[in-house]
């Protein structure tokens, strides 16, 4: 089953935030976490206090507190402080998108490995064929993603001053 095509209404910053939050929610994030990540992608300055996040996202202080705590715990957002300022600020962790793909790669590897091990416990050839399809697909995907990530790193290194 395929999901309906995504329409990207991003004429405003608010629409961008909501559209990104929906996409990220479809990938398993809580909507407020997606909204926070999206805002941190486009805000200026790139670091935002909890009060700034709450105002920008029309969210409660408690919601922002819980969301930023979760995003920091999962390594998606960094908490930073500035000398002479008693507030904490939050910003996207540099390189986060590459790191997210690394964790997806681990899932892909683990899943095809599990399918391979599953062959040992099934009795029918039909079940083995289904597991072989899983293994072959995820092995292929893992190799393609690893190659893509290596090309990305090389391109970034070559573009660096």
In tens, the pLDDT along 8-44 reads 555 799 999 999 999 989 988 899 999 999 999 999 9
* Domain encompassing residue 65: 13-92
CA gap 94, 48 in Å, rounded:
15
Question: Is there a single domain that holds both residue 29 and residue 17?
Answer: yes
CATH number at residue 73: 1.10.10.10
Question: Is there a single domain that holds both residue 20 and residue 74?
Answer: yes
- The C-alpha angle with vertex 123 and arms to 118 and 124, in degrees rounded to 5, equals 100
Question: Is there a single domain that holds both residue 28 and residue 75?
Answer: yes
Q: What predicted TM-score, i.e. pTM, was given to this entire model?
A: 0.77
| Per-residue pLDDT tens digits for 43-92 | 999 999 999 999 999 999 999 999 999 999 999 999 999 999 999 999 99
Contacts 24+ apart (CB under 8 A), 74-82: 75/99, 76/37, 76/100, 77/36, 77/37, 77/40, 80/47
| Per-residue pLDDT tens digits for 119-139 | 999 999 999 999 999 999 999
In this structure, is residue 52 part of a structural domain?
yes
Please count the structural domains in the chain: 2
Strand ranges (DSSP E) for the chain?
48-49, 77-80, 89-92
Question: Is there a single domain that holds both residue 118 and residue 53?
Answer: no
Question: Is there a single domain that holds both residue 46 and residue 87?
Answer: yes
């Amino acid at each position: 089953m395929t999901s309906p095509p995504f329409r990207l209404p991003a004429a405003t910053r608010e629409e961008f935030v909501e559209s990104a939050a929906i996409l990220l929610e479809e990938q398993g994030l809580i909507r407020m976490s997606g909204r926070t990540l999206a805002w941190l992608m486009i805000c200026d300055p790139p670091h935002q206090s909890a009060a700034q996040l709450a105002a920008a996202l029309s969210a409660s202080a408690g919601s922002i507190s819980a969301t930023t705590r979760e995003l920091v715990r999962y390594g998606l957002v960094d908490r930073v402080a500035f000398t002479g300022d008693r507030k904490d600020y939050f910003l996207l962790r540099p390189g986060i998108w590459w790191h997210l793909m690394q964790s997806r790669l681990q899932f892909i590897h683990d899943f095809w490995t599990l399918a391979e091990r599953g062959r040992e416990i099934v009795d029918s050839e039909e079940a083995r064929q289904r597991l072989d399809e899983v293994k072959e697909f995820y092995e292929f995907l893992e190799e393609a993603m690893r190659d893509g990530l290596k090309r990305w790193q090389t391109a970034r290194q070559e573009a660096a001053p």
